[in-house]
């Protein structure tokens, strides 16, 4: 049986999904505007492995955003800056328009800024409790590193002691045999 506390802690790491970077509400059909139409789906193409600093092996990483009926001007501007096509992205369904963002050499924060600007997504506000909880887990993690080192040192010392004892015994036996 898994320890309840362990289970809870594993579950709580999904806090990042709820309030971390990129946790946002995309415009839906109900509250779409002219500039920011509803987003139907997203598609991300990325290399399964990264060889070295610049990833030459895989396909160029690209994020495709599918809009319900039209593309806003911001999305066009961002996607249009460097025209790329993503051959892995599925074709748009009836009436869908797609904008592909080139995300090569961007950090995830930069990517997210672009996506947010082109879709008009509203970030989910982080409540005080969530902040406190995130802080708590952060503290736990830093403490865990320290504790791990401490225990590691302890175990190593014990192992060393045992090894020395064994060696000493072996020498005694050798002496007796000789």
Partner 1 sequence: MSSLGVTLPAAARSILSSCRSSIREATIVPAFPAFRQVRGMGSNPQAKGKGKKAAAKTSRRGPQEFRQKSLKDMEQFALCDAMRYIRALEVGRNPTSVKYEAHIRLRTRKDGPVIRNMIRFPHAVQTESRICVICPPDSKQAKDALAAGAVLVGEEEVFEAVKAGIIEFDRCLAHPDSVPALNKAGLGRILGPRGLMPSAKAGTVVEDVASRVEDLRGGTVYRERDAVIRLPIGQLGFSPEQLRDNLRTTIEQIKKDASGLNDRINKEIYEVVLSSSNGPGFSLNGEFKTDASPETSALTGV
Which residues in this chain contact partner 1 in the complex, by CB under 8 A? Answer: 1, 4, 7-8, 10-11, 14, 17
What is the smallest separation between the CB atom of 49 and partner 1, expressed in angstroms? 14
* Closer by beta carbon to partner 1, 17 or else 145: 17
What is the smallest separation between the CB atom of 156 and partner 1, expressed in angstroms? 32
How is residue 162 written in tokens? 């045992």
* Closer by beta carbon to partner 1, 73 or else 141: 141
* Closer by beta carbon to partner 1, 1 or else 53: 1
What is the smallest separation between the CB atom of 14 and partner 1, expressed in angstroms? 6
Are 16 and 131 spatial neighbours (Cβ–Cβ below 8 Å)?
Answer: no
Are 42 and 28 spatial neighbours (Cβ–Cβ below 8 Å)?
Answer: no
* Closer by beta carbon to partner 1, 1 or else 178: 1
* Closer by beta carbon to partner 1, 62 or else 71: 62
What is the smallest separation between the CB atom of 155 and partner 1, expressed in angstroms? 27
What is the smallest separation between the CB atom of 11 and partner 1, expressed in angstroms? 5
Residue closest to 130 by CA, chosen among 32, 19, 53, 51: 19
């Amino acid at each position: 049986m898994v320890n309840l506390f362990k289970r809870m802690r594993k579950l709580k790491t999904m806090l990042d999904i709820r309030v971390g970077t990129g946790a946002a509400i995309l415009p839906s059909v109900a509250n779409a505007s002219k500039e920011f139409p509803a987003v139907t789906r997203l598609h991300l193409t990325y290399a399964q492995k990264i060889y070295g600093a610049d990833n030459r092996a895989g396909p160029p990483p690209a994020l495709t955003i599918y809009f319900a009926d039209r593309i806003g001007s911001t999305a066009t501007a961002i996607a249009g800056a460097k025209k790329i096509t993503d051959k892995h992205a599925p074709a748009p369904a009836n009436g869908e328009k797609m904008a592909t963002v080139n995300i090569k050499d961007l950090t995830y924060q930069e990517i997210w800024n672009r996506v947010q600007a082109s879709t008009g997504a509203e970030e989910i506000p982080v409540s005080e409790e969530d902040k406190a909880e995130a802080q708590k887990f952060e503290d736990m993690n830093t403490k865990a590193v320290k504790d791990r080192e401490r225990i590691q040192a302890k175990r190593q010392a014990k192992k060393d002691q045992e090894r020395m004892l064994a060696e000493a015994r072996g020498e005694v036996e050798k002496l007796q045999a000789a």
